[in-house]
Amino acid sequence: MIFPPRVTRINTATTLIPDHSTTDILCVDALDNDMFIEEPVGSPSDFQELIIRINNKDEKNVITWSDKYSGQGMPKRLSCNIPIFYSFMFDAVTGKYVRQWLQTIV
C-alpha cells in the first residue's frame, strides 16, 4: 500500500528542524532571512527519505547545514524566487542524511 507523503509547510524560519514523525516533505515557501537547517528530530529508519523545498525571497540569504547532512554541492546561497529541492536518504550506518539529488525549477 502506498501512502501519501506527509507535507509540512512554513513561510520562513531562522532555524529549521525537520520532524521525521510528522514530515516526509518540508516546504519553506518564502524564505526571507538566513537559515540554519538542523538535524531532524525523531527516529528515522534506515533509507528513510526527506525532501526539503526552499523558495528564497532574497539572494543575500545564507543557508547553513548541520553536519548530519552530507553531499557535494550543498549550496550556501540560493537564487531568488527559484524553488530548489533537496532529497536526502538517512544512512543508519553513518547516522547522516545523504543527499540523493538536487533540483531547481526555472
- More confident: 64 or 104: 64
All residues at 6 or more sequence positions from 43 whose CB lies less than 8 Å from its CB, including other chains: 20, 21
So what's the pLDDT on residue 105?
Answer: 65
**Do 70 and 88 touch, CB atoms closer than 8 A?**
no
> What is the C-alpha end-to-end distance of the chain, expressed in Å?
34
Average pLDDT over residues 26-40: 93
Residues 6+ apart with CB under 8 A from 96: 68, 69, 70, 90
Indicate the pTM of the whole model: 0.88
Tens of pLDDT, residues 78-87: 777 888 888 9
Domain boundaries, the chain: 7-104
Residue 99: per-residue pLDDT: 87
